[in-house]
Structure 1
Amino acid sequence: MQFAYKQLDVWQKAVAFAVRVINTVERVFAERTHFRLMEQIEASSTSIAMNIAEGKGRLSKKEFRQYLYISRGSLYETMTLLEIFHRKGWIDANELSQLEQDGLEIAAMLKGLINAISKDGS
């Protein structure tokens, strides 16, 4: 037996994305004054998968859908932080582009799952 959220492709993709973001951030050299940004991007990137999992564990599809919306918000927050990191020169255009592609794929998967749940009438 395994947790039901582990069967969701979007959860698996979100976990891999979070690991990739964390690995990217670990290579960033920034002044001590920017540690809060480092912590925030780690929090927002991991929040994507965590909210998918938490929502899957809820009792209703309506609750699950709400957590998927929160997950999408965390994704958008992460993408904004990645753009800031790029503009600060902490990550290069290639890294940003690859992470954006992953982010767009996750966004599409979240949208599809939200739409599927909404069609069920819950």
Structure 2
Amino acid sequence: MGTIKQFEDLEIWIKSREICNKIFEIREKSDLKKDYRLFDQINGSSGSIMDNIVEGFERNGNNEFRQFLSIAKASCGETRSQLYRVLDRNYITREEFDTEHEKLIMLSKQIGGFMNYLQQSDYKGSKFK
């Protein structure tokens, strides 16, 4: 984490933003835009992934960052679950579902890996200098 100066440089944040934008694209091209409650839920959970990554990063301490990454990882799972509902209601094709589902699984694994890295790191965060 020593070379990362801002959250926009974090690969996990970049990928979470892409997922969040994809959810909005799905809404715009399907009847998901009429399913207000489901869109609100999946939009919120996908946004929570990127927002919790940032909130943890901005706290400048590894322990707090890991805590917020854990929340982001949980939001990843929540978004995956809601994506099934989007599929079941025929707002996306199986191919679109498979692509986004795989991205969410990979992001969840990356977040978990980053949490492990932070836990093993001797660097405790810039607020502890």
TM-score, L = length of structure 1 = 0.89
The 1-side partners of 2:99 and 2:111 are apart by 19
- What is the alpha-carbon root mean square deviation over aligned residues? 1.9
Corresponding residue for residue 127 of structure 2: none
Question: Counterpart of 2:91 in 1: which secondary structure?
Answer: coil
The 2-side partners of 1:84 and 1:37 are apart by 8
Q: Which runs of 5+ in 1 are unaligned?
A: none
- State whether structure 2 residue 30 is matched by structure 1 residue 28: yes
The 1-side partners of 2:33 and 2:61 are apart by 45
The 2-side partners of 1:44 and 1:27 are apart by 20
The 2-side partners of 1:25 and 1:82 are apart by 12
Deviations 1:56-109 (A, max 9, x none): 001321100010000011111111011011112221101100101111221121
Q: CA deviation at 1:46?
A: 1.2
Q: CA deviation at 1:38?
A: 0.9
Identity %: 26
Q: Which runs of 5+ in 2 are unaligned?
A: 125-129
Corresponding residue for residue 102 of structure 2: 101
Question: Counterpart of 1:84 in 2: which secondary structure?
Answer: helix
Of the structure 1 ranges 23-32 and 11-20, higher mean CA displacement relative to structure 2 is found in 23-32
The 2-side partners of 1:37 and 1:30 are apart by 8
Deviations 1:32-66 (A, max 9, x none): 5x311111111111111111011000132110001
Residue-pair matches, total:
120
Corresponding residue for residue 66 of structure 2: 65
Q: CA deviation at 1:25?
A: 2.0
TM-score, L = length of structure 2 = 0.85
- State whether structure 2 residue 54 is matched by structure 1 residue 50: no
Contact 2:27 2:39 in 1 (8 A): yes
| Cα distance change, pair 31–48 in 1 and its aligned pair in 2 (3 A) | closer
Which letter maps to 1:23? E
